[in-house]
């Protein structure tokens, strides 16, 4: 598997610290299912990162698609996804939630989707249902950069 730049993927884009082949790839290949709402959220971010839009439709609960199609996801300029930051994750019975920030760049401008997402489990599978959007919380100038460069934010993506 390679990125859009034809670079080999070693570490999983979801930020788990695992190799892609041991992390999100089995989910993307449908050889396993997400064991938790957080794992599904991470695999969905990774699917955005890699352009695996079928997976996004397949893991979005059908009652909450609101007309969203594969064509909608493929349409327009795609952001350059940088990193996923999971802020909180919870699971209670057949429901779960994940609050996260998904960092990206478009037109060289840094931004994030900051969302509290809801999930439900049906027939042994977790599905994304809907999310509440929040304003992005940008790091302080001297904090590590969100892109993972190991530089300070002020010296990198700020």
Instruction: Give residue-wise pLDDT tens across range 41-69.
Output: 999 999 999 999 999 999 999 999 999 99
Please compute the mean of the pLDDT values over residues 108-127 and round it to a whole number: 96
Per-residue confidence (pLDDT) for residue 68, from 0 to 100: 92
Residue 157: per-residue pLDDT: 84
Task: Write the secondary structure of 106-137 as one string of H (helix), E (strand) and C (coil).
Answer: ECCEEEEEEEEEEEEEECCEEEEEEEEEECCC
Contact 135, 114 (CB under 8 A): yes
Mean pLDDT, rounded, for 113-119? 98
φ, ψ at 75 (rounded to 5°): -75, 140
Torsion angles phi and psi, residue 115, rounded to 5 = -140, 145
pLDDT-derived band at 150 (thresholds 50, 70, 90) equals: confident
Could you tell me what percent of the chain has a pLDDT over 70? 94
Q: Please check the confidence at residue 7 and state whether its pLDDT lies above 90.
A: no
């Amino acid at each position: 598997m390679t990125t859009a730049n034809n670079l080999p993927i070693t570490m999983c884009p979801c930020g788990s610290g695992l190799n892609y082949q041991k992390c999100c790839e089995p989910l993307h290949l449908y050889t396993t299912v997400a064991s938790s709402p957080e794992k599904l959220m991470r695999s969905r971010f990774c699917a955005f990162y890699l352009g695996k839009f079928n997976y996004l439709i397949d893991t979005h609960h059908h009652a909450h698609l609101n007309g969203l199609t594969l064509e909608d996801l493929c349409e327009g300029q795609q952001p350059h996804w940088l990193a996923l930051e999971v802020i909180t994750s919870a699971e209670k019975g057949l429901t779960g939630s994940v609050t996260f920030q998904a960092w990206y760049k478009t037109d060289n401008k840094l931004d994030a989707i900051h969302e509290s997402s809801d999930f439900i489990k049906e027939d042994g599978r977790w599905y994304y249902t809907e999310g509440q959007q929040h304003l992005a919380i940008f790091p302080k100038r001297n904090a590590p950069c969100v892109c993972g460069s190991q530089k300070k934010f002020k010296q990198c993506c700020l």
